[in-house]
Amino acid sequence: MRARSRWYEWPFEPLPVLRALNQYGVEYVLIGGLAAVLQGSPLPTYDIDIALSASGGNLNRIQAALDHLAAVVLGDVRDLGRALADGRIVSFSTRFGYIDVISKPAGFESYTSLRRGARRLALEPGLDVLCSPIRDILRSRIAAGDLRQLPALEAALELTGAL
């Protein structure tokens, strides 16, 4: 397997990816670094992380969106639905950047429990996304043991006044 290049060499254009997800009706919540940046986090981000409903119809829609984006799966994943059901993060490469897909982020019982707290953000006319609030991103990072970005996320949470 070929190693990824340095982060500053990666393409990163999230809007075409988010447009494709919405165009194909994918049920998802934007999580991770991009979700935090859209809500005031100063941390840089270099990929798109989404949690999605692993229902059969939604798996067909995400596959259609990924095909539209000419996405290439990274790693040995033969069945996206099975990988997501097993709790794996499935990564894809596109000409617009990397996408990480999961059905159940750390700290949440299910996609449905994550979605309950999501907020709708308008990124441009005709492009609204459900976005995990910073408090939920913090919850997930703590549950996953990823504590490196906690101070910056806590500062962003304090600035937004969200609890």
Owning domain of residue 67: 9-149
In a domain, 1, yes or no: no
In a domain, 100, yes or no: yes
Cβ partners under 8 Å of residue 88, min gap 6? 77, 102
Taking residues 139-163, what's their average pLDDT?
Answer: 70
Give the mean pLDDT of the chain.
88
In a domain, 19, yes or no: yes
Number of independent structural domains in the chain: 1
Q: Is the pLDDT of residue 60 over 80?
A: yes
In a domain, 14, yes or no: yes
In a domain, 162, yes or no: no
Print burial letters for 56-91: b (CB count within 10 Å at least 16), e (below 16): eebbebbeebbebbebeebeeeeebbebbeeeeebb
Integer Cα distance of 105 and 111 in angstroms:
8
Taking residues 92-111, what's their average pLDDT?
Answer: 94
Integer Cα distance of 68 and 71 in angstroms:
8
In a domain, 2, yes or no: no
In a domain, 158, yes or no: no
pLDDT at 150: 62
Quote the pTM value.
Answer: 0.87
Are 128 and 30 spatial neighbours (Cβ–Cβ below 8 Å)?
no
Of residues 160 and 114, more confidently modeled: 114
In a domain, 41, yes or no: yes
Residue in the block written with tokens 């067909």? 60
The domain that holds 113 is classified in CATH as 3.30.460
Query: pLDDT tens digits, residue range 1-54?
Result: 345 566 556 789 999 999 999 999 999 999 998 999 998 888 888 899 999 998
